[in-house]
Amino acid sequence: MIANLLLLAVATQAGSLGGHEPAAPEPALVVEDRAAVLEEMWVRRLLAPDQTAWAPADAQMLGRIRMAEADALAYLKKKFGGTRPWTAVRRGKETAPRLLTKEGYDKYLFHLTQDAIEYFEKKGAGAKWALKLTDWEGRRLFDGDGRLTPAGSTVYTRAKLKLEVYWKSPNGETFGTRRPPKTP
Protein backbone atom coordinates (compact mmCIF):
# COMPACT_ATOMS: atom_id res chain seq x y z
CA MET A 1 0.00 0.00 0.00
CA ILE A 2 2.79 2.44 0.90
CA ALA A 3 4.62 1.47 -2.27
CA ASN A 4 1.50 2.28 -4.32
CA LEU A 5 1.21 5.71 -2.68
CA LEU A 6 4.90 6.38 -3.35
CA LEU A 7 4.52 5.42 -7.02
CA LEU A 8 1.46 7.65 -7.30
CA ALA A 9 3.30 10.61 -5.77
CA VAL A 10 6.32 10.16 -8.06
CA ALA A 11 4.09 9.81 -11.11
CA THR A 12 2.18 13.02 -10.35
CA GLN A 13 5.40 15.04 -9.99
CA ALA A 14 7.24 13.50 -12.96
CA GLY A 15 6.44 16.47 -15.14
CA SER A 16 8.38 18.84 -12.83
CA LEU A 17 11.47 16.60 -12.59
CA GLY A 18 12.74 17.49 -16.04
CA GLY A 19 14.44 15.23 -18.54
CA HIS A 20 11.43 14.91 -20.75
CA GLU A 21 8.76 17.05 -22.24
CA PRO A 22 5.20 16.28 -21.27
CA ALA A 23 3.15 15.15 -24.19
CA ALA A 24 1.18 18.06 -25.56
CA PRO A 25 -2.44 17.24 -26.13
CA GLU A 26 -3.26 17.03 -29.79
CA PRO A 27 -5.70 19.68 -30.95
CA ALA A 28 -9.19 18.35 -31.33
CA LEU A 29 -10.12 18.84 -34.94
CA VAL A 30 -13.77 18.76 -35.79
CA VAL A 31 -13.82 17.19 -39.19
CA GLU A 32 -17.23 16.55 -40.55
CA ASP A 33 -17.86 13.95 -43.16
CA ARG A 34 -18.16 15.72 -46.51
CA ALA A 35 -21.02 13.48 -47.62
CA ALA A 36 -22.94 14.15 -44.39
CA VAL A 37 -22.50 17.92 -44.75
CA LEU A 38 -23.60 17.77 -48.38
CA GLU A 39 -26.66 15.72 -47.39
CA GLU A 40 -27.50 18.23 -44.63
CA MET A 41 -27.17 21.15 -47.05
CA TRP A 42 -29.56 19.42 -49.45
CA VAL A 43 -32.07 18.71 -46.67
CA ARG A 44 -31.88 22.28 -45.38
CA ARG A 45 -32.31 23.46 -48.99
CA LEU A 46 -29.08 25.41 -49.04
CA LEU A 47 -28.03 23.62 -52.24
CA ALA A 48 -29.94 22.23 -55.17
CA PRO A 49 -30.16 18.42 -55.09
CA ASP A 50 -27.92 18.12 -58.17
CA GLN A 51 -25.20 20.36 -56.72
CA THR A 52 -22.20 18.48 -55.26
CA ALA A 53 -20.03 21.37 -54.02
CA TRP A 54 -20.64 24.37 -51.84
CA ALA A 55 -19.19 27.84 -51.53
CA PRO A 56 -17.80 29.31 -48.30
CA ALA A 57 -20.97 31.44 -48.03
CA ASP A 58 -23.05 28.24 -48.01
CA ALA A 59 -20.93 26.83 -45.17
CA GLN A 60 -21.34 30.07 -43.22
CA MET A 61 -25.11 29.97 -43.73
CA LEU A 62 -25.17 26.37 -42.52
CA GLY A 63 -23.33 27.44 -39.37
CA ARG A 64 -25.78 30.31 -38.75
CA ILE A 65 -28.76 28.00 -39.24
CA ARG A 66 -27.31 25.42 -36.86
CA MET A 67 -26.60 28.08 -34.22
CA ALA A 68 -30.10 29.58 -34.42
CA GLU A 69 -32.03 26.34 -34.91
CA ALA A 70 -33.35 25.78 -31.38
CA ASP A 71 -34.39 29.40 -30.90
CA ALA A 72 -35.81 29.62 -34.43
CA LEU A 73 -37.96 26.51 -34.06
CA ALA A 74 -39.33 27.71 -30.70
CA TYR A 75 -40.00 31.19 -32.12
CA LEU A 76 -41.73 29.91 -35.26
CA LYS A 77 -43.83 27.48 -33.25
CA LYS A 78 -44.91 30.22 -30.85
CA LYS A 79 -45.58 32.83 -33.53
CA PHE A 80 -47.18 30.64 -36.21
CA GLY A 81 -48.39 27.59 -34.25
CA GLY A 82 -46.05 25.13 -35.93
CA THR A 83 -42.80 24.64 -37.80
CA ARG A 84 -43.69 22.08 -40.45
CA PRO A 85 -43.55 24.46 -43.49
CA TRP A 86 -40.02 25.55 -42.52
CA THR A 87 -38.48 22.22 -41.57
CA ALA A 88 -37.47 19.07 -43.41
CA VAL A 89 -36.71 15.46 -42.60
CA ARG A 90 -33.47 13.69 -43.46
CA ARG A 91 -33.94 10.94 -46.01
CA GLY A 92 -34.54 7.60 -44.31
CA LYS A 93 -34.82 9.19 -40.84
CA GLU A 94 -38.49 10.12 -40.59
CA THR A 95 -38.50 9.63 -36.79
CA ALA A 96 -35.52 11.97 -36.28
CA PRO A 97 -36.11 15.61 -35.35
CA ARG A 98 -36.94 17.87 -38.27
CA LEU A 99 -34.24 20.28 -39.45
CA LEU A 100 -34.72 24.01 -39.97
CA THR A 101 -34.49 24.91 -43.66
CA LYS A 102 -33.04 28.06 -45.17
CA GLU A 103 -36.57 29.33 -45.77
CA GLY A 104 -37.37 28.74 -42.10
CA TYR A 105 -34.23 30.57 -41.02
CA ASP A 106 -35.06 33.49 -43.31
CA LYS A 107 -38.64 33.61 -41.98
CA TYR A 108 -37.36 33.53 -38.38
CA LEU A 109 -34.76 36.22 -39.00
CA PHE A 110 -37.25 38.48 -40.80
CA HIS A 111 -39.85 38.34 -38.03
CA LEU A 112 -37.28 38.56 -35.24
CA THR A 113 -35.84 41.65 -36.96
CA GLN A 114 -39.29 43.25 -37.17
CA ASP A 115 -39.89 42.53 -33.48
CA ALA A 116 -36.49 43.99 -32.58
CA ILE A 117 -37.06 47.18 -34.59
CA GLU A 118 -40.43 47.64 -32.91
CA TYR A 119 -38.86 47.05 -29.48
CA PHE A 120 -36.02 49.54 -29.98
CA GLU A 121 -38.41 52.15 -31.37
CA LYS A 122 -40.56 51.81 -28.24
CA LYS A 123 -37.42 52.29 -26.15
CA GLY A 124 -36.60 55.65 -27.71
CA ALA A 125 -34.79 54.93 -30.96
CA GLY A 126 -36.56 56.84 -33.70
CA ALA A 127 -37.69 54.91 -36.75
CA LYS A 128 -35.03 56.74 -38.74
CA TRP A 129 -32.22 55.66 -36.37
CA ALA A 130 -33.28 52.19 -35.23
CA LEU A 131 -31.27 50.44 -37.94
CA LYS A 132 -28.11 52.35 -36.97
CA LEU A 133 -27.98 51.25 -33.32
CA THR A 134 -24.83 49.62 -31.94
CA ASP A 135 -24.14 47.52 -28.88
CA TRP A 136 -21.95 48.68 -26.01
CA GLU A 137 -18.79 47.57 -27.87
CA GLY A 138 -19.78 49.42 -31.05
CA ARG A 139 -20.98 46.42 -33.12
CA ARG A 140 -24.00 47.16 -35.30
CA LEU A 141 -27.33 45.65 -34.27
CA PHE A 142 -28.61 45.60 -37.86
CA ASP A 143 -26.68 44.90 -41.05
CA GLY A 144 -26.77 46.93 -44.26
CA ASP A 145 -29.80 44.99 -45.48
CA GLY A 146 -31.75 45.84 -42.31
CA ARG A 147 -31.49 42.35 -40.80
CA LEU A 148 -30.60 41.66 -37.20
CA THR A 149 -26.91 40.79 -36.72
CA PRO A 150 -25.70 38.20 -34.18
CA ALA A 151 -24.76 41.08 -31.83
CA GLY A 152 -28.21 42.59 -32.37
CA SER A 153 -29.88 39.28 -31.67
CA THR A 154 -27.96 38.99 -28.41
CA VAL A 155 -28.88 42.52 -27.32
CA TYR A 156 -32.52 42.10 -28.28
CA THR A 157 -32.85 38.70 -26.60
CA ARG A 158 -31.25 39.97 -23.38
CA ALA A 159 -33.46 43.07 -23.44
CA LYS A 160 -36.64 41.02 -23.93
CA LEU A 161 -35.63 38.83 -20.97
CA LYS A 162 -35.06 42.01 -18.94
CA LEU A 163 -31.39 41.18 -18.40
CA GLU A 164 -28.78 43.91 -18.14
CA VAL A 165 -27.83 45.09 -21.62
CA TYR A 166 -27.03 48.44 -23.26
CA TRP A 167 -27.10 49.89 -26.77
CA LYS A 168 -26.14 53.19 -28.34
CA SER A 169 -27.78 55.46 -30.86
CA PRO A 170 -25.76 56.99 -33.72
CA ASN A 171 -25.44 60.27 -31.79
CA GLY A 172 -23.80 58.45 -28.85
CA GLU A 173 -26.81 58.39 -26.53
CA THR A 174 -26.86 55.19 -24.46
CA PHE A 175 -29.99 53.18 -23.73
CA GLY A 176 -30.45 49.96 -21.82
CA THR A 177 -32.51 47.82 -19.54
CA ARG A 178 -30.70 49.40 -16.57
CA ARG A 179 -29.21 52.83 -16.04
CA PRO A 180 -26.04 52.73 -18.11
CA PRO A 181 -22.69 53.08 -16.34
CA LYS A 182 -20.57 56.12 -17.19
CA THR A 183 -17.87 54.01 -18.90
CA PRO A 184 -18.13 50.76 -20.86
pLDDT of residue 21: 52
Q: How confident is the model at residue 124 (pLDDT cuts 50, 70, 90)?
A: confident
Q: Name the burial class of residue 184, with classes exposed (0-12), middle (13-18) and buried (19+) by CB atoms within 10 angstroms of its CB.
A: exposed
Nearest CA to 38 out of 48, 52, 50 is that of 52
CB 112, CB 153: distance < 8 Å: yes
Amino acid, res. 173: E
pLDDT of residue 179: 85
Q: What is the mean pLDDT of the chain?
A: 83
pLDDT of residue 44: 95
pLDDT of residue 126: 78
pLDDT of residue 24: 52
Across the range 134-154, mean pLDDT stands at 92
Cα–Cα dist 22/134, whole Å: 46
CB 108, CB 76: distance < 8 Å: yes
Q: How confident is the model at residue 180 (pLDDT cuts 50, 70, 90)?
A: confident
Least confident of 21-30, 65-74, 126-135, 158-167: 21-30
For residue 153, pLDDT over 70 is answered with yes
Delimit the domains of the chain by residue range: 31-101, 123-184
At 35-62, the pLDDT tens digits run 889 999 999 999 998 999 999 999 999 9
Q: Which long-range contacts (CB under 8 A, 24 or more apart) does 38-43 make?
A: 39/90, 39/91, 40/90, 40/99, 43/88, 43/89, 43/90, 43/91, 43/99, 43/101
For residue 68, pLDDT over 70 is answered with yes
Q: What angle do CA 154, 29, 50 make, to 5 degrees?
A: 80
Across the range 5-19, mean pLDDT stands at 43
Q: How confident is the model at residue 102 (pLDDT cuts 50, 70, 90)?
A: very high
3-state secondary structure 80-126: HCCCHHHEECCCCCCCCCCEECHHHHHHHHHHHHHHHHHHHHHCCCC
